[in-house]
Amino acid sequence: MKKFVKWVIKIFLCNIFYRVKYIDYDNIKDLKKCVICPNHSNTVEPTWLFAKDDSITIMAKAELFKKKFWAKIFTYFNVFPIHRGEHDIRSLIHAINLFKNVDERKLLVFPEGERLPKNVDRVPAKVGPVYIAIKADVPIVPVYITKNAKLFSRVKIIYGKPIYVKKELLKDKEALQNFTDTLMDNIYEMGNR
């Protein structure tokens, strides 16, 4: 079932409705574990990343899980909820634990915490993805995705080099936020290539 859905996504969402080009995927291809951190402006972005990788798990807004049918579908495809706008410790702990006792795990988390409206350039980034990476002792892979991609347009997905974050950052909230903001700056700069 997963292979069939992935095939459908590749055909329709990566080649027909959008023309997705993956750039520098070699930066992540051989990584067994990491936290993938892209910018976020289009609803279908998670599917583009899902289509490229077999070991991906996705953190998504809890509102998507309100209906039981969709909750089951998302869970089947390794998507789990986080409650936005509050300190969802349970989801953070779950995300960290996902890396335990597995050989491969790539966790997709959007640091901006929400899909940006077209008229908004940036919002303050959330420190959660960096916190997860530090606690799970895995690198962060910054990813730039073409902003506000329109149907039938070209989409660039650019993978940056893995970033290994020092544990000392957890002792300083301001430094953690600064690191996260710089991470997002670097992600958007990747889009200027």
- Percent of the chain scored above 90 by pLDDT? 85
CATH number at 84 reads: 3.40.1130.10
Instruction: Please state the domain count of the chain.
Output: 1
Q: Which residue has the tokens 């200027």?
A: 192
Pull the structure tokens for residue 14. Answer: 């990566």
Whole-model pTM: value is: 0.94
Which helix (H) or strand (E) segment holds residue 1: the answer is: none
The residue range of the domain holding 73 is 2-190
In the chain, DSSP assigns E strands to: 19-23, 33-38, 56-61, 79-82, 105-108, 140-145, 154-159
pLDDT digits (tens, 9 = 90+) for 136-155: 999 999 999 999 999 999 99
